[in-house]
Amino acid sequence: MRKLTTRVLQNGLAIIKTDFVDESGASIVPESVTWKLFNESGEIINSRSAVSVTPASTVYIALQGDDLPFSGSNADCEYYIYLRIDAPYASSLLGETVANAEQVKIPIEADRSL
């Protein structure tokens, strides 16, 4: 699991870059790319359960507004959301389509102006 090291402001903007590579580290274009966004309880955030992205060797996923909620007892507590990216590809090594998934842990900072 990849974890962002900088907190993202609640209801702000985060752009997540993902590069796809095969088992040998070579750049690949997946057959499809979908993503979902969920909280620590597994609940889908902002109806983002199966969002399609045009397949490419590098994709950028923009999260903003209601995609970046904060939920906690106080503004100083730790709160994370999770982005899962699924991108199956045709493996030349294995000769078949293989699953490829990445999960990104995103720390959210409370917007104290709200």
At residue 46's C-alpha, the angle toward residues 4 and 20, to 5°, is 45
What single-letter DSSP state applies at residue 96?
Answer: E
Give percent of the chain above pLDDT 70: 96
Report pTM.
0.92
CA-CA distances (angstroms) from residue 6 to 31, 66, 85, 94?
31, 19, 20, 37
- In the chain, where the domains are located: 2-109
- Give residue-wise pLDDT tens across range 42-53: 999 999 999 999
Confidence at residue 71, expressed as pLDDT on a 0 to 100 scale: 86
On whether the CB atoms of residues 67 and 15 are closer than 8 A, the answer is no
Distance CA 81, CA 36 (A): 11
Confidence at residue 75, expressed as pLDDT on a 0 to 100 scale: 67
- Give residue-wise pLDDT tens across range 70-106: 987 666 778 999 999 999 999 988 889 999 999 999 9
CATH of domain 2-109: 2.60.40.1930
Confidence at residue 98, expressed as pLDDT on a 0 to 100 scale: 93
Query: CB neighbours of 9 closer than 8 A, spacing ≥ 6?
Result: 68, 108, 109, 111
Mean pLDDT of the region 49-76? 92
| Token digits of residue 63 | 């999260």
